Structure 1
Amino acid sequence: MGEVMLRKLIYAVLIIAAIFAAKIWYDTMRDPVVQRLSLTSDALPTRSSPVTIALLADIHVAGPDMPPSRLERIVEQVNALEPDLIAIAGDLVSEKRTATHIYTPEEIVSPLGKLEARLGVVIAPGNHDHWYDWPALSEQIAKHPNLTVLANNAAQFGPLAVGGADDAFTGRDDLEATFAAMAPLTGARVVVTHSPDIFPQVPVDVDLTLAGHTHCGQIAYPWGGAPATMSDYGDLYACGVFEQHGKTLVTSGGLGTSLLPIRLFTQPEVWLIEIRPPQQ
């Protein structure tokens, strides 16, 4: 190979590397994309107003890619959507081995205290929350009246019966307790969980299951799919909307990162889900 050809090859490799670096930076640090879904629940009174839920997942506060200042900007974006309820499907924090900074529980939770939703904010814990220090995070969450933790229990939020499962990935979920707590509640039935793997066990009377954990692979193939999803079901429930036996699952790609502080061919996202009464 001549010197000129070698130089051209080196330039081509550098250009391709620069393009990939720019793509990684953009996919990792861009503002979240707002994904939208509308579904109907017979449990809402006919001609009542629709209810909107904003789904956040896998925030993973840690340096370098998700400092609290970035989370504050995301909170402003979510508030601008004016959801009735906000559901956070676990992993407030990250313990990436490559993290440049690990923040305190107060720094992690404080931006979430600025979330605004008419019915409140529900948090179901994820595996990284337990690995970090869930009691310390819970203590900070309790200081904010807009935030409610649901971990194997349930509560009424206006026209919604909301259950929250503790993390299934670390074996802390108790679905029997969660669904028993939901039984006396009324309205459209919603389950918030970190891992989507509980979906086959969710009763058919649950209208909507909200999950995260998979990051849609975080680093995905450009043609679809990903090398890893951290789900026992592989790609089956890994990303997006799934309907099965009359029930619906939404698995969010999340906001932050774990293991490596990069995304590629996936994007940070927030879901805005509208639950409508029948005949509207």
Structure 2
Amino acid sequence: MLRRLLKLGAFGLVVAAGLFLWGWLGARADPIVRRATIELPRWPDGAAPVTVALLSDIHIGSSVTDDGRLRRIVAQVNALRPDLVLLAGDFVAGHDPEDGRRYAARLTGPLSGLRARLGVVAVLGNHDHWTDPVAVRTALEQARVTVVENGAVARGPLAIIGIGDAHTGHDSLPAVLAAFHRVKGAPLMLTHSPDVAAELPPGGGVLLAGHTHCGQAVLPWWGPISVPSRYGNRYLCGVIREGRNTIVVTGGVGTSVVPLRFGAPPDLWLLTVGPGGR
């Protein structure tokens, strides 16, 4: 009887180790490139469409995303030849300010390698605010990344509207609207948590976000184990249409808390944005 129990225990450990390795290797895999064409209102007359690479949830400092993997992802993005790169927050792992400062310093080298004719624009995420947002912002700016929080910047025919992270209460739609009126171009909103989508006016806006990791662990016949959203699966993943509004949620390239992915592989988006409704 004891021998049988020991065999069962050993078998269980082997299975658990195999599952862990499978999930860890899946989390470290090169991101899947997902593609979509999105129409934007108020597109300037005569302006050509723009290709936008959307990345999120790098979480450098975890065992899934080290400097070498981040450099490979940067090379993957550059090979797509986007006109513009948008980074939707959660650049560092963890919650501790000291760890956040140490991890943030490792962002500058790899991210400075991004190449796009219209540049790179970012917003901060919940882990960035939980650790050290000043250190994260500084590291990004040293990599020539423009950080926009509740403001707007012009990039070619686009007005990139950066909305602060709703998960940590840093979003301010009044400030965003005021900033948008000072910048010309077709509006393209960027944020970390997609929850802010529920507060958008139904005017045909486009919002790009991350944060959910597409569930990170999605089980057959069950679905995602946990989704960090007040709205459950409403903004889980992919292209979501709500009336005239469009929300694109990327699964991100890193992991949070547990360095594993099941049924929700890392991804990034290459979007072609162009003229739509007025």
TM-score with structure 1 setting the length:
0.88
Deviation at 1:42, TM superposition (A): 4.1
Deviation at 1:104, TM superposition (A): 3.7
Distance 2:148 2:100 in 1: 28
Q: 1:140 to 1:237 in 2, by over 3 A?
A: same
Q: What residue in structure 2 maps to residue 150 of structure 1? A: 148
SS at match of 2:257: coil
Deviation at 1:17, TM superposition (A): 4.2
Deviation at 1:160, TM superposition (A): 0.5
Q: 1:142 to 1:14 in 2, by over 3 A?
A: closer
Q: 1:155 to 1:73 in 2, by over 3 A?
A: same
Q: What residue in structure 2 maps to residue 236 of structure 1? A: 234
Distance 1:222 1:102 in 2: 38
- Alignment gaps of 5+ in structure 2: none
Distance 1:188 1:54 in 2: 17
Q: What residue in structure 2 maps to residue 60 of structure 1? A: 59
1:86 matched to 2:68: no
1:74 matched to 2:73: yes
Q: 1:161 to 1:12 in 2, by over 3 A?
A: same
Q: 1:221 corresponds to which letter in structure 2?
A: L
Q: What residue in structure 1 maps to residue 163 of structure 2? A: 165
Distance 2:29 2:221 in 1: 21
Note if contact 2:43-2:185 (Cα within 8 Å) is conserved in structure 1. Answer: yes
Note if contact 2:236-2:249 (Cα within 8 Å) is conserved in structure 1. Answer: yes
Alignment map for 1:87-236 (pairs within 5 Å): 87-95=86-94, 103-145=102-144, 147-205=145-203, 207-223=205-221, 225-236=223-234
TM-score with structure 2 setting the length:
0.89
Distance 1:28 1:103 in 2: 22
Distance 2:103 2:14 in 1: 40
Q: 2:122 corresponds to which letter in structure 1?
A: I
SS at match of 1:91: coil
Task: Kindly report the root-mean-square deviation, in angstroms, between the aligned alpha carbons of the 2 structures.
Answer: 2.6
Distance 1:230 1:39 in 2: 26
Distance 2:184 2:59 in 1: 33
Distance 2:27 2:204 in 1: 33
Distance 1:203 1:140 in 2: 34
Provide, for residues 51-105 of structure 1, a one-character-per-residue CA deviation record: whole Å limited to 9, x for no partner. Answer: 11111010000131111111011000011111111111110000179xx998442
Distance 1:86 1:77 in 2: 12
Q: 1:142 to 1:17 in 2, by over 3 A?
A: closer
Distance 1:96 1:255 in 2: 19
Q: 1:151 corresponds to which letter in structure 2?
A: E
Distance 2:15 2:49 in 1: 48
Note if contact 2:30-2:266 (Cα within 8 Å) is conserved in structure 1. Answer: yes
Distance 1:149 1:181 in 2: 14
Q: 2:35 corresponds to which letter in structure 1?
A: R
Provide, for residues 256-278 of structure 1, a one-character-per-residue CA deviation record: whole Å limited to 9, x for no partner. Answer: 11111111111110111111225
